[in-house]
Structure 1
Amino acid sequence: MSQDTSQVKVTRIVGGVGCGKTQELIERVCSLLSNGEKAESVLALCATPQACESFTLRLGAAAKVADVNADGVTVTTPRALALEVLSDAEAVRWSGREPRLLTAYEELFLLEDMKTCGLRPKRLREMLKFFYRSWTELADADPNWLLAGEEANVHALLKANLAFTRSIAEPEAGNLAVNYLRGHAGARSTHSFAHVLVDDYQRISRASQLLADLVASETLTIAGDRAACVQVYDSYPYAAGLDEFMDAHEGAEDIELSACHACAAGAAGAAKLLADPAMQSIAFHTAEDAVAGQTTMLEATLPEDEFGAVARFVADAVAGGMSPADVTVATPNGVWSRNIVKALLAAKVPAQALADRQPVRGDIRDNERCVPARVLTALDLVADPDNAMAWRCWCGYGDWLANSSAMANLRKYAAEQDKDLVGSLRDMANGALAADEGDADRIVGAQRVGAAYEAGLALIESASGLEGTALLDKVAEAVTGEKGATAPGIVSALCLGEQDNSAAAMAERFRSRLLAPHIDAASAVLVVPYDQVAGLSPKALVIAGFVNGFIPCREYFDGAEMPLDKQEKEHAKDARRVYSMAGKASKQLVVSRFTTTSLETAGVMKLHIGRIRLQDGKRMCVIEPSNFTEQLA
């Protein structure tokens, strides 16, 4: 870290899962407020949007006990902080980008545009991962970080495509924000907070860690656990940052928490997992007041039986006096989440599920198979006719190569004329981009792109002034070409709100719900993917679908698909994932599994099959418990 932090008091808090690191941060915030610090001067950074919700609820409860007002404390993610920094007018001018991250369906268009470099798709994806990781680790600060030739050329193309659409890839956000603040002292003071606290430091990227350092002006406190380094929201979490933090801040206070406040079963499971050679050992012991008891094991025959068993267990716990909000169910995938929520609701227990991935997807090459994405893109255009990324997508839907060749030609034209994508499209529509008869490169796909652009302009005009459902239905009608068409349910769910359903508000709302998913589960059971337990503190945690195939994945058991060295890395990653869950429950840890399913279901769900037997004329598979069951049992 090159910035001057000599005037900032820094503290590192480390400890195993369940040792109270988050609670320590909350108590420090309350102490600051009790000593007269303004709530607006405090920033708390959490690893995920859902962890922010949990932190805010816990802080509110603690502030009430301490008789202080914490309403003005900013609780957010490093990603949101980076986008706020990049939303400055000067930052937009400096970067040439809008503070807008790519959604999953927009990333598909970027990938198609990158394929014009000529690399094989697998090689290209691996190279993109290298670039993305390097961005998060600020490796591009070294002018010689890329090899001359292919590597440098592909990276230049990636940056050119992002600049052409004025958009930002998620791994790039923190990198841009850090570099902007480092080069603009005024911006750094504008975005500074007197007191910055960071939870789950090992789960955020190095760029996010440096960003936290840059915005702290008086105190900086981080909390983390090396063994719990799991990717939950930021790409490429950086566990080494915990040690680099101490190296960069001479004289920093170092606090190690060793008393695990999880239930005895969870603490014991976490301790067993730490004994795994793949884990970095952290010394901790179970607190004396930890609730005694063993892990509750739920075993069902079929998956649908497991859903019911989990619902009955939770219903009994709620009937026994536990609040639904004190129960979290961790699931291996969206199928398990949806079915468990359905079973809980049938048992009269309120429940909400956090999505395991962005719900808007489909084949962008087939207009019939990506209607929700097309409707959202059209809404983006209505909200902002100068949205370059929306025009890129709109002009690419329905083509096998997403009209990537035409876009490459437009990008070259834009560079020659010092224009952006929108200006280039406008020139093309006005005939300024007409090619000579022999200039084949400039006319590949131009007719399709031109027609799409004209259709987009007509849509924008026809939807002008409309809001809410009327606007969404009008857009859906234009997209599908069907008179009286209505917007897909997923689009309405993402866009509509209780207030302000203008085009701009709905466009901002759907993007937030896609890119920063979280739910208000203050009075409901929270059903989340395994890794999203990070930052949560339930009294009872149910780990569902705990079988081989889900964790570890099916490929782990096939040496032909996953060589030994990759198996070792996969085992270490899964051990960290299970460890991160094990010590979360303060009162009760429950592990749930099923033992049998049909061969068809096992194939679709990518389960590891123990053996196959014929049952009532149907081929059924025996599904083994997860390799990590013994540690938790």
Structure 2
Amino acid sequence: MMVETAQLETLRIVGGVGTGKTERLIEHIAALTSQGADPARIVAFCATPIACRTFAARLRERIGNKADGVRVTTPRAFALDLLGTGEAIAFTGREPHLLAPFEEAFLLEDMKVCGLKPRRLKEMIRFFYRSWSELADDNPDWLLPGEETSTHDLLKANLSFMRAYVEPEVANVAVRYLRANGAAQAALACEHVVVDDYQLLSRASQTLACLTATRSLTVAGDPFACVEAYESYPYAKGLDEFLETNPQAAKETLTVCHRAQATAYAAERLMAATHTTTFEIKESPAIPTGDPNVLHAENPTDEFRHVADTVAEALAQGTAPSSIVVAVPNAVWGRNIATSLAAKGTPTEVLPCACPIRGDIRNNDACVEARIATALDLVANPHDTAAWRCWCGYGDYLVNSASFATLRAQACAEGRGLVDALTMLAAPSNAQGADGANSIVGSQRVIAAYRAGRALIERTHALQGHQLLDEIARIVTDGSLSATPAAIIELCLGTGPDTPSALARRLRERMLAPTLHDTNAVAVVPYRTVAGLSPDFLVVTGFVNGFIPCRDYFDATATPPDKQESMHARDLRGVYAMIGKAEKHLTVSCFKNIDLESAGKLKLKINRIRLQDGIRTCTIEPSKFLALVVEN
């Protein structure tokens, strides 16, 4: 994973939830700074943006103003900064543009021209993504000749033509750039590197973090808490590979859990259920006792109300809002919990469960927010290649993928980029029927979209802030919208400059690297995001079959036994990583009944259906994991 050096001091720390791994890293940094280490030469890698925020706050409490010099970041953000340097752009031929989900939809459509059946293509792309994240391409023979190689080449060609990256690829390319460029690695190197939640990172991200250390490298993790919190394909094996690569590394195992007894016991039961434990969690005699509080509601509405009452009671007893986290299974639960909390006057900040900008890119009316975001990218940077690809594909059933396949082939043969190719295609001579345009099926649609985009840039480039967003919304919707959608406003506006580039940068950061900002609000977050937090008071909502485990787990026709086993193991780790974050109080809530239509939409596991007051009502059971969380 990294080149071993005689001077590098290495340490691996492992332990279960609440055993003090993060605190051990903070004390390590404190010791380094007290011994004269320059804080600017220290980097702390955390697994999620929220974890970065929490780590930085705790570090500041420990070492004061010195913490301002320590860089606390995620490997993804670190990699994108690296790939944004002039040398890296020249090396890769791409910009540090990470594709959002709605932008990646265009890439996937462009891949369909390869002729593979959609299911086979999807499986192959997932294989490429995982292989990139695990640096499988270190082996030159990792691909089979023929279909695999040609499809991989097409995927890389399309990404290069868009001059952009997909998330599983970012750390991989950054590692390859550093390995190929010793000067860049030397310039980037830091004396001391610490990595928290090592198991939540991909293998490529682990390697990238390790490559930056010159004097000391300390990693901490819990192999059982390997869940997909922020990065795709987290790599728990990296904790063992770290020792293989650094046989001289010191080793520490933390076993005493400093969290509530209910949390410690639940975590221990969940870990024991796998029969693969490598260490045990011992309770601390100083921690509070008691089992988790379980809220059994009649229906979802009752559950939302009970949760709001529970949070209000905790606030009344003196718990700080920032020390309370409510975990939700999906966006529907998040919205309803936030509404119920607001009705109680509880300040709330909601972290989205998915990218807040989405919709059908084939239907202009169904993807207005995505089109506004793309238009803003174009105004901020008229040479944004990925934005032009998307802009010229909206509203077409095949997003003009055939046109761009031909355009890409011609542009590559001529040594041109996408923007130059579009400029030439839309030149008056081509628009009047020159051979270049006639050879591209659907070129007139692409030309019309390109010219509309240029007109939009010309009309709005001098505007800023709310005025800019409103004008873009009017243009994109042909005047049907007079104001910007709320989701765009929330993503774009805030403190700081309101120039087009500032708005576009803010939107992309909040969309792709969401975090919490309000230190006086109760956080409502997705299950997976709890991994970056350590609240005093944790409420896990919607803890029923169908949400966790998902409905397909119970369907033998959809899930064969081997897949069911892997899903069970994954969910066990997810529940362990989530409930193990409760420092002092853990509450789990579930509901018993819901109408049949809602149960179907939410994909719940229906236990029984009956007619109640003329409404077909379903009985829903608590999650099968509840028996492990709460001791019978």
Alpha-carbon distance change, 484 to 369 in structure 1, aligned in 2, over 3 angstroms: closer
Tell me which residue corresponds to 1:99.
96
Aligned identity (percent) is 51
Tell me which residue corresponds to 1:81.
78
Q: Indicate yes or no: 2:552 matched with 1:555.
A: yes
**8 Å contact from structure 1 (residues 44, 74) kept in 2:** yes
| Cα shift readout 1:417-438 (whole Å, capped 9, x = no counterpart) | 1000001011111257689999
Whole-angstrom distance in 1 between the partners of 2:614 and 2:384: 57
Question: How many residue pairs get matched?
Answer: 630
Alpha-carbon distance change, 629 to 112 in structure 1, aligned in 2, over 3 angstroms: same
TM-fit CA distance, 1:445 = 0.8
Gaps of 5+ in 2: none
| Cα shift readout 1:498-557 (whole Å, capped 9, x = no counterpart) | 221111111111111111001114222111111111131111111111000000000111
Tell me which residue corresponds to 1:35.
35
**8 Å contact from structure 1 (residues 202, 238) kept in 2:** yes
Matches within 5 A, 1:195-344: 195-277=192-274, 279-344=276-341
Whole-angstrom distance in 2 between the partners of 1:557 and 1:281: 29
**8 Å contact from structure 2 (residues 11, 217) kept in 1:** yes
TM-fit CA distance, 1:278 = 5.8
* Correspondent of 1:537 among 534, 542, 550: 534
TM-fit CA distance, 1:441 = 8.0
Tell me which residue corresponds to 2:47.
47
**8 Å contact from structure 1 (residues 353, 527) kept in 2:** yes
Alpha-carbon distance change, 445 to 280 in structure 1, aligned in 2, over 3 angstroms: farther
Whole-angstrom distance in 1 between the partners of 2:280 and 2:437: 68
Whole-angstrom distance in 1 between the partners of 2:63 and 2:536: 20
TM-fit CA distance, 1:208 = 0.4
Whole-angstrom distance in 1 between the partners of 2:364 and 2:24: 52
Whole-angstrom distance in 2 between the partners of 1:169 and 1:463: 29
Alpha-carbon distance change, 433 to 205 in structure 1, aligned in 2, over 3 angstroms: farther
Tell me which residue corresponds to 2:441.
444
Whole-angstrom distance in 2 between the partners of 1:19 and 1:358: 33
Specify the code of the residue in structure 1 equivalent to 2:456: L
**8 Å contact from structure 1 (residues 227, 282) kept in 2:** no
Specify the code of the residue in structure 1 equivalent to 2:403: A
**8 Å contact from structure 2 (residues 596, 618) kept in 1:** yes
Matches within 5 A, 1:100-119: 100-119=97-116
TM-score for both structures, normalised by structure 1: 0.97
TM-fit CA distance, 1:4 = 3.6
**8 Å contact from structure 1 (residues 18, 260) kept in 2:** yes
* Correspondent of 1:492 among 489, 496, 503: 489
Tell me which residue corresponds to 1:616.
613
Tell me which residue corresponds to 1:26.
26
**8 Å contact from structure 1 (residues 394, 456) kept in 2:** yes
Tell me which residue corresponds to 2:164.
167
Which secondary structure state, in structure 2, belongs to the residue aligned with residue 171 of structure 1?
helix
Tell me which residue corresponds to 2:469.
472
| Cα shift readout 1:552-611 (whole Å, capped 9, x = no counterpart) | 000111100111111000000000011112221121111111111111110111100110
**8 Å contact from structure 1 (residues 330, 530) kept in 2:** yes
Specify the code of the residue in structure 2 equivalent to 1:188: Q
Q: Indicate yes or no: 2:105 matched with 1:90.
A: no
Alpha-carbon distance change, 540 to 169 in structure 1, aligned in 2, over 3 angstroms: same
Task: Judge which range, 83-92 or 52-61, deviates more.
Answer: 52-61
Specify the code of the residue in structure 2 equivalent to 1:49: P
**8 Å contact from structure 1 (residues 279, 576) kept in 2:** no
TM-fit CA distance, 1:362 = 0.5
| Cα shift readout 1:211-240 (whole Å, capped 9, x = no counterpart) | 011111111110001100001111100000
Whole-angstrom distance in 2 between the partners of 1:434 and 1:582: 61
Backbone CA RMSD of aligned residues: 1.6
**8 Å contact from structure 1 (residues 556, 562) kept in 2:** yes
| Cα shift readout 1:38-92 (whole Å, capped 9, x = no counterpart) | 221111111111111111122122224xxx6211111110100111111110100
**8 Å contact from structure 1 (residues 274, 282) kept in 2:** no
Whole-angstrom distance in 2 between the partners of 1:26 and 1:470: 45
Tell me which residue corresponds to 1:371.
368
Whole-angstrom distance in 1 between the partners of 2:555 and 2:204: 36
Task: Judge which range, 289-298 or 430-439, deviates more.
Answer: 430-439
* Correspondent of 2:399 among 386, 399, 402: 402
